[in-house]
Amino acid sequence: MTKRFGDHVAVDHLNLAIPRGHTYGFLGPNGAGKTTTMRMLTTLMPPTEGTAAIMGTPLTDREVVTRHLGYLPEEPPLYEELTGREQLSYVAFLHDIPDDTASDRIEEFLARLDLTADADRPISTYSKGMRQKVGLIQTLLHEPAVLFLDEPTSGLDPRAARTVLDVLHDLVDEETTVFLSTHILSVVDELADTIGVLHEGRLVAEGSPADLKRRAETGEERTLEQAFLEVTADHRAEEGKESVEAP
Ligand SMILES: Nc1ncnc2c1ncn2[C@@H]1O[C@H](COP(=O)(O)OP(=O)(O)OP(=O)(O)O)[C@@H](O)[C@H]1O
């Protein structure tokens, strides 16, 4: 897929396949095109060129595709005037989830994510982390087969981040396919089967976390951070950008 905004190419002939049940960690510097890619794959924005399929269904068949997927954007869409519990019930209603099932799932997630005590307060009074947790629950309520997560642990304190990672581990174990974009390298290192690094709209490296670490040449203790810095630096050098020094 390619996405252009005027003359600017945000995503440039991106070609990838993710096997069912795999977790794909999508890395890249700011402005690399990660959110644009997620917005195309979740049918929120059409590609300028190219296409993709989710669970074998082309993105153009929006009604079927959206039934299979859940998308947690960086800022989850929430109704400020609703309480957390009302927001989740409303989303369950939109997904046609029977009331009893919805209520069980909502209460279970609220408890697991430590939100039960706050569930009857309006969302307008929630902290960023609480909003993030409600956003995650509403993404999971209809048990999507394919999950798109943009910075799922952003704004969470370490304990809440751990809880969210544990929820994601369970989903990965249950064969949910996860497409995960984050700047927190330890999160992809922990969860991803495959990592793709996007730089200026192009996929510049792809492999398992171990493969990418092997590509890092510095030192004995190779880290994903070194690999990330190296693959993105190589491409900056190729484009002659290494010579541009900060003042
Ligand atoms: N609606 C838009 N109109 C014009 N340009 C856009 C639009 N959306 C994104 N862009 C541009 O496309 C490029 C990719 O943006 P995108 O938000 O996909 O990056 P990202 O990898 O998600 O970045 P970050 O890590 O900072 O969230 C950027 O140069 C951005 O300015």
pLDDT at residue 245 is higher than 50 = no
- Ligand 1, atom 5: nearest CA belongs to which residue? 5
Q: What is the mean pLDDT of residues 193-213?
A: 92
pLDDT tens-digit profile of 41-86?
999 999 999 999 999 999 999 999 998 999 999 889 999 999 999 9
Residue 247 lies in a domain: no
| ipTM above 0.95 for this complex | yes
Query: Alpha-carbon distance 165 to 187, whole Å?
Result: 8
pLDDT tens-digit profile of 125-150?
999 889 999 999 999 999 999 999 99
Residue 51 lies in a domain: yes
39: Cβ below 6 Å to ligand 1? no
Which ligand 1 atom lies nearest to the CA of residue 201?
A: 14
Bridge partners of residue 177, in order along the sequence: 146
- Residue 122 CA, ligand 1 centroid: distance in Å: 31
pLDDT confidence of residue 243: 42
Nearest to 201 by CA among 47, 42, 91: 47
pLDDT tens-digit profile of 10-40?
999 999 999 999 999 999 999 999 999 999 9
Query: Alpha-carbon distance 110 to 199, whole Å?
Result: 37
What are the structure tokens assigned to 105, written together?
């799932």
What are the structure tokens assigned to 226, written together?
């070194």
Residue 182 lies in a domain: yes
Q: Which residue has the tokens 């330890």?
A: 186
pLDDT tens-digit profile of 71-124?
999 889 999 999 999 999 999 999 999 999 999 999 999 999 999 999 999 999
The CATH number of whichever domain residue 41 belongs to comes to 3.40.50.300
Supply the DSSP symbol for 45: S
Domain total for the chain? 1
Nearest to 167 by CA among 178, 182, 155: 178
Query: Alpha-carbon distance 204 to 51, whole Å?
Result: 20
Query: Would you tell me the crossing angle of helices 128-140 and 158-173 to the nearest 10 degrees?
Result: 10
pLDDT at residue 214 is higher than 90 = no
Residue 52 lies in a domain: yes
pLDDT at residue 236 is higher than 80 = no
Residue 16 lies in a domain: no
- At 157 the three-state DSSP class reads coil
Residue 30 lies in a domain: yes
Question: Residue 237's pLDDT band (boundaries 50, 70, 90)?
Answer: low
30: Cβ below 6 Å to ligand 1? yes
Q: What is the mean pLDDT of residues 202-209?
A: 93
Domain membership of residue 59 as a residue range: 3-9+22-238
Question: Residue 213's pLDDT band (boundaries 50, 70, 90)?
Answer: confident
85: Cβ below 6 Å to ligand 1? no
Residue 125 lies in a domain: yes
Q: Which residue has the tokens 């402005």?
A: 31
- Show the DSSP H helices in the chain as ranges: 34-41, 62-68, 84-94, 99-112, 128-140, 158-173, 185-191, 209-215, 224-238
Nearest to 23 by CA among 216, 196, 166, 224: 196
| 119-125-131 Cα angle (round to 5) | 65
N-to-C CA span, the chain: 36
Q: What is the mean pLDDT of residues 186-198?
A: 92
Which of 7, 12, 35 to probe ligand 1 with, by most ligand atoms within 8 A of CB?
A: 35
- Ligand 1, atom 3: nearest CA belongs to which residue? 5
The secondary structure of 77-134 as a DSSP string is ---TTSBHHHHHHHHHHHTT--HHHHHHHHHHHHHHTT-GGGTTSBGGG--HHHHHHH
201: Cβ below 6 Å to ligand 1? no
210 half-sphere exposure, CB direction, 13 A CA radius: 1
pLDDT at residue 240 is higher than 70 = no
Q: Give the rounded percent of residues in the chain with a pLDDT score beyond 90.
A: 72
- Ligand 1, atom 18: nearest CA belongs to which residue? 33
Residue 245 lies in a domain: no
- Ligand 1, atom 2: nearest CA belongs to which residue? 5
pLDDT confidence of residue 244: 42
